[in-house]
Amino acid sequence: MGRGKVLMAMSGGLDSSVAAMMLLECGYDLVGITMKTWEYADSGIDGKETGCCSLDSINDARHLAVRLGFPHYVLDIREEFNHYIVKDFIEEYLEGRTPNPCVLCNTHIKWGALLKRAGQLGCDYIATGHYARIREEGGRMVLYKGEDQGKDQSYVLWGLSQDFLRKTIFPLGDYTKDQIRSIARKAGFEQVAEKRESYEICFIPDNDYRGFLEKQVPGLGQKIGGGDFVDIEGNVIGRHKGYPFYTIGQRKGLNIAMGEPMYVNRIIPRTNTIVLGNKKQTFSKRFWVSGFNPIKSERLPEDDPVIVKIRYKDPGHLASVQYKENSSGITVNLHQAASAVTPGQSAVFYDGNDVLGGGFIETDTE
């Protein structure tokens, strides 16, 4: 007897391909699905399509499903993706923030679309090729880090609800990337094993988000115009091309000569002003978090310190938290100052390997 029916999200890449092989080996009944989230022509990017939404990737996923003997479908969610993810991406930059589209996509688009289609196809679970793990503890589903700490993706999954986690399988969580490549080779999928990884935002494969903004919002540079670079004291020290084209912590491309490297410290959309500071001045010890999603327990511990990651590759910082009165926000006090705490990015809280929950960084602590 089989172990259940699983809807496997397939990008055509190494990770989801090996995840599908693993599930079949474990006795699951499999249905493959590839989500079409973006049309590269819509981004105004020239050249060959690459990434998870390209025709080649969709065909690779379909070919693997045919070879392994399970059905495969393509789900077109471009309209929802454009409305919720691309629109938010643009709006966040226009508000002087740095968005985190992968978190929003996982939370509001991919899991919702997968579970809806899973129900239609009679599937008991959904599965993806993420490097993360899930267990049940005390009646709650706990998300925790994958075995391969260098590839762990729990940071971008903090927004998943308990219902989503309860229906999700992460086959790769107990394996390293090298082990996954080895599995593909041993199974005779040498071409899959050698596929390169993509680190770009899926709808900006050339990694030029400034060019993307200008193509999506025609005349953006002219509408906003240039503004002042100021130092921490408010003295004008130069001119910039428009606040949406800069991010907190940015050093390159400022064209400012001050005798020491300068970094973007703060972005003020209302006055089209960018505050610059030296490296030391980019550090801060306090911020707050909005939109918190609890995972391991309903609340973060206010009596004991936790580890918080403020970006994907961040090693983590020891912090104490307090819930704000008459607010859903959480104040975070870092035990040691961290550089470039960026509004719009995610703060994800950990207890060892376990994800306690996460939310969006806000730097207005007043």
CA separation for the pair 179, 27 (Å, rounded): 21
* Options 52, 53, 102, 105, the catalytic residue: 105
Specify whether 202 is catalytic: yes
Closest CA to 67 of 21, 13, 34, 25: 21
* Options 52, 53, 102, 202, the catalytic residue: 202
Q: Are 171 and 19 in contact (CB under 8 A)?
A: yes
Count, residues in the chain:
366
Closest CA to 234 of 203, 198, 284, 275: 275
Report how far apart, in Å, the C-alpha atoms of 302 and of each of 110, 114, 324, 333, 366 are: 33, 36, 11, 11, 19
DSSP E strands: which ranges in the chain?
5-9, 29-36, 72-76, 125-127, 132-137, 140-145, 168-169, 227-230, 236-240, 263-268, 273-277, 283-294, 306-309, 317-323, 330-339, 346-351, 354-362
| Residues known to be catalytic | 105, 202
